[in-house]
């Protein structure tokens, strides 16, 4: 079905020496074209376990579109979540997307994933999933709501001085938690230290959301699972295309709303002109230079 209705190298199948199934890779060419032309270069990868008698593993690579919706990139099926399986899947993904400038790949901290990302996408940056990091931190240090709220703020702040204040607050509540997230490397999860843009994609939850979208068919044979995925994508893209055709703005609905919220907040900021198109903007004890050139 995939090869009949889509052009390009979008499927790959690997068997062992006895011609028994081991791995499969599949994607829609339209998804690859959309990613290369219009999608921010951040890919979330994850796995889910299929529930047929063979307990296959489904690999997923997802992005986020301009309306903050799941943009499916590629899928794979393997016999297990091993280094070899991850390398095979990521190698096929690399073949269809090529080298991407400023690419960030987000996942949990499994060594098998990190090793293969560094090998197959050597010019990419691996970012840690903030949700997994939070779960692990709370699992080690206790499910403290205040600790959770401060950590989430620590992830999102833009400036290093804001980040430092948040870390001090977190350490005062639980020094073990502060040490744990420090050992991960701030650049892996904190916006203030990121060497590359991750935009608002702080976790691999969109990959988990894709897994939930096909949850009902995970007990089916592999061929039926693939057909289910095709049906889900077909339905998503139809409704998104229909909704996009009704837009009155050149912006997506989510961006339009966000700009409206930010515009309302900006009216309470104090602006001091510096020269021509440069301004000092103050917000309480925070300030920054805005250059409009």
* pLDDT tens for each residue of 186-209: 999 999 999 999 998 888 888 778
- What percent of the chain clears pLDDT 70, i.e. is strictly above it? 96
Residue 6 pLDDT class (50, 70, 90 cuts): low
Averaged pLDDT, 247-261: 92
Contact between 273 and 279 (Cβ < 8 Å): yes
Hey, which CATH number is domain 1-124+204-246, 3.30.420, 3.40.1630, 3.90.1200, 1.10.10?
3.30.420
- The more confident residue out of 222 and 170 is 170
d(CA 205, CA 45) in angstroms, rounded, equals 9
* pLDDT tens for each residue of 134-172: 999 999 998 889 999 999 999 999 999 999 999 999 999
Would you give the end-to-end CA distance of the chain in angstroms?
50
Beta strands per DSSP E along 134-284: 270-275, 278-283
Residue 179 pLDDT class (50, 70, 90 cuts): very high
3-class DSSP state for residue 56? coil
Question: What mean pLDDT is reported for the chain?
Answer: 90
Look up residue 59 and give its two tokens. 């690999």
* Least confident piece of the model among 2-16, 113-127, 198-212, 262-276: 2-16
Residue 274, pLDDT above cutoff 80: yes
Contact between 112 and 93 (Cβ < 8 Å): no
d(CA 240, CA 257) in angstroms, rounded, equals 17
Q: Where are the domains of the chain?
A: 1-124+204-246, 130-202, 253-291
**For position 206, what pLDDT does the model report?**
83
**For position 9, what pLDDT does the model report?**
47
Contact between 270 and 281 (Cβ < 8 Å): yes
């Amino acid at each position: 079905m995939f090869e009949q209705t889509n052009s390009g190298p979008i499927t790959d199948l690997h068997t062992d020496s006895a011609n028994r199934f081991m791995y499969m890779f599949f994607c829609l060419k339209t998804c690859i074209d959309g990613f290369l032309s219009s999608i921010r270069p951040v890919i979330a990868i994850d796995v889910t376990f299929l529930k047929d008698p063979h307990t296959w593993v489904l690999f997923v690579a997802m992005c986020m579109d301009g309306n903050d919706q799941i943009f499916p990139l590629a899928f794979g099926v393997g016999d297990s979540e091993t280094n070899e399986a991850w390398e095979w899947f990521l190698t096929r993904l690399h073949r269809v997307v090529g080298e991407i400038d400023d690419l960030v790949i987000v996942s949990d901290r499994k060594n098998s994933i990190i090793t293969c990302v560094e090998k197959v996408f050597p010019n990419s940056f691996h970012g840690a999933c903030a949700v997994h990091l939070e779960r692990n931190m709370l699992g080690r240090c206790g499910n403290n709501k205040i600790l959770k709220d401060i950590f989430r703020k620590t992830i999102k702040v833009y400036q290093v001085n804001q980040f430092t204040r948040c870390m001090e607050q977190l350490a005062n509540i639980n020094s073990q938690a502060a040490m744990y997230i420090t050992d991960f490397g701030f650049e892996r999860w904190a916006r203030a230290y990121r060497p590359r843009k991750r935009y608002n994609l702080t976790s691999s939850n969109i990959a988990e959301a894709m897994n939930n979208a096909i949850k009902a068919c995970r007990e089916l044979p592999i061929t039926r699972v693939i057909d289910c995925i095709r049906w889900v994508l077909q339905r998503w893209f139809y409704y998104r295309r229909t909704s996009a055709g009704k837009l009155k703005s050149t912006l997506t609905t989510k961006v339009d709303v966000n700009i409206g919220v930010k515009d309302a907040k900006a009216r309470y900021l104090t602006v001091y002109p510096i020269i021509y198109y440069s301004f000092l903007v103050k917000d309480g004890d925070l300030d920054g230079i805005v250059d409009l050139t």
